[in-house]
């Protein structure tokens, strides 16, 4: 029996399918991802009325919420399931904690979302708590920080010499390599894994400025200029500022000790190097 159904086969979801052999995982997606046999994908558009859907004993839901309003896609999918799964894994965001002024955050801390997208994630978490309780389905919420990996290093911005907040004013960074995220998703999908909330991350909290400079260093190109935060606040886009305005350090003890995942790329320098090699970018 297929043990995992991945809903949403984008950057992360397609990698879950590629990690697991045929017969152990299938997908639900609007389109067929590159490198995945079409027989493993049920093509559905979650924005449409859905037929009765058959899924595996564990569902991993990777679909982002809509830009505005409630996540009707998520509710629609749950309502269409022919039989509730034993385990539902939802990829949320560490943004639900809001701005903590650089303090360390654990899973038992209250959420305080400040951005619209983080508020949507909190609403989705609450919706799933209710639906899973009604269906006797165990729920795992993975609160995910910034995801990086092949094709997600910001190389175009670096080559364009995009300005960055200077290092001494930059906030702590929280991130995870996509391969480590996939490992977390597969571990969370096991019904024997304790349910609940898990903060994810590599444990390294060096800033986004540091990260971009390290990518540039490994590419042997000159990074963009570092500017004062006050200047950045008048020049950066509203969306970019929303990512840079909140400050927190994500505690990942539960990920390591309960979920049982120790990141392969605990040092993002190694993750950057592996990502560049995977996408064939010359160093």
The candidate with the shortest Cα–Cα distance to 10, out of 23, 35, 113, 80, is 35
Q: Which residue has the higher pLDDT, 66 or 263?
A: 263
Least-confidence region, from 22-26, 166-170, 190-194, 239-243: 239-243
pLDDT value of residue 280 = 83
State pTM to two decimals.
0.96
pLDDT value of residue 70 = 79
Phi, psi of 133 (to 5 degrees): -65, -40
pLDDT at position 260 over 70: yes
User: Which token pair is 200?
Assistant: 């994810």
Q: What is the dihedral of CA 189, 190, 193, 199, to 10 degrees?
A: -20
Which residues face 165 on adjacent strands? 227
94-110 pLDDT per residue, tens: 999 999 999 999 999 99
User: Which token pair is 50?
Assistant: 């859905």
Give the separation between CA 249 and CA 67, rounded to whole angstroms: 26
Q: Is 35 left (phi over 0), alpha (psi -120 to 50) or beta?
A: left
Record: fold of 4-149+174-204+247-265: Rossmann fold (3.40.50)
pLDDT value of residue 1 = 47
pLDDT value of residue 68 = 78
Residue with tokens 């609450």: 126
User: Which token pair is 211?
Assistant: 């990260």
113-142 pLDDT per residue, tens: 998 889 999 999 999 999 999 999 999 999
Percent of the residues in the chain that have a pLDDT greater than 90, as a whole number: 85
Give the separation between CA 183 and CA 20, rounded to whole angstroms: 11
Give the separation between CA 59 and CA 50, rounded to whole angstroms: 17
Residue with tokens 């990698």: 15
Give the separation between CA 111 and CA 127, rounded to whole angstroms: 15
User: Which token pair is 258?
Assistant: 């309960």
Q: How confident is the model at residue 244 (pLDDT cuts 50, 70, 90)?
A: confident
């Amino acid at each position: 029996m297929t043990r995992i159904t991945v809903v949403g086969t984008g950057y992360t979801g397609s990698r879950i399918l590629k990690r697991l052999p045929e017969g152990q995982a299938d997908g639900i997606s609007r389109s067929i991802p590159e490198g995945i046999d079409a027989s493993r994908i049920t093509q559905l558009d979650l924005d449409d009325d859905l037929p009765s859907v058959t899924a595996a004993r564990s569902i991993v839901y990777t679909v982002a919420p809509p830009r505005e309003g409630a996540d009707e896609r998520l509710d629609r999918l749950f309502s269409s399931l022919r039989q509730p799964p034993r385990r539902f894994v939802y990829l949320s965001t560490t943004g639900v904690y809001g701005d903590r002024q650089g303090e360390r955050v654990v899973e038992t801390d209250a959420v305080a979302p400040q951005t619209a997208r983080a508020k949507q994630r909190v609403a989705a978490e609450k919706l799933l708590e209710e639906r899973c309780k009604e269906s006797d389905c165990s729920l795992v919420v993975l609160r995910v920080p910034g995801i990086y990996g092949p094709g997600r290093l910001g190389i175009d911005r670096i080559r364009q010499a995009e300005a960055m907040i200077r290092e001494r004013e930059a906030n702590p960074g929280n991130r995870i390599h996509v391969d480590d995220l996939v490992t977390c998703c597969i571990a969370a999908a096991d019904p024997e894994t304790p349910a609940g909330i898990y903060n994810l991350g590599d444990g390294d909290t060096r800033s986004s400025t540091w990260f971009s400079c390290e990518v540039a260093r490994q590419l042997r190109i000159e990074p963009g200029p570092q500017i004062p935060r006050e200047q950045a606040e008048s020049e950066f886009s509203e969306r970019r500022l929303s990512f840079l305005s909140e400050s927190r350090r994500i505690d990942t003890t539960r990920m390591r000790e309960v979920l049982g995942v120790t990141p392969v790329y605990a040092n993002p320098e190694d993750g950057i190097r592996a990502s560049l090699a995977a996408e064939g970018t010359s160093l």
